[in-house]
Amino acid sequence: MCTRYISRITEWAIVLSSSIDKDIYHMGFNVTMDREKCSGCEECLEICSAGVFEIQNGRAVPVNAKECIGCETCIEVCEQHAISIEETGIQLSDQCLTLLRDIL
């Protein structure tokens, strides 16, 4: 068991040291919609480089909000003022969270 933990901690350290300027963590954002305002024009889908939105039943839905980088471009293009972006704090990358869960 001890060998397993040492191995996983080593793996964690390698990821940490090689990812300092990469995606070991990122700022998280909450993407919320006012469905009543959304007209389904798809402007936000086309402009969002993170692929956050999908059209469901004629309205935009932030199905992939965890990928949001907070650029607020979607807010600028939405003529219906249907989108809100809120900073939620630092989030660890999926890879780091997986390693931490294995270690703890």
Is position 61 an interface residue for ligand SF4 (rule: CB under 6 A)? no
- Angle formed by the axes of helices 2-18 and 94-103, nearest 10°: 160
Q: How far is the CB of 93 from ligand SF4 (least distance, A)?
A: 16
Stretch binding ligand SF4 (CB under 6 A), from 2-10, 15-23, 69-77, 95-103: 69-77
Q: Does residue 29 contact residue 86 with C-beta atoms inside 8 Å?
A: yes
Is position 77 an interface residue for ligand SF4 (rule: CB under 6 A)? yes
Alpha-carbon distance of 26 to 92, in angstroms, equals 6
Q: Where are the alpha helices (DSSP H) in 38-90?
A: 43-47, 73-77
According to DSSP, the residues that pair with 33 across neighbouring strands are: 83
Stretch binding ligand SF4 (CB under 6 A), from 1-9, 13-21, 79-87, 93-101: 79-87
Q: Which residues bind ligand SF4 (CB under 6 A)?
A: 29, 31, 38-44, 47-48, 50, 52, 60, 68-74, 77-78, 80, 82-83, 85
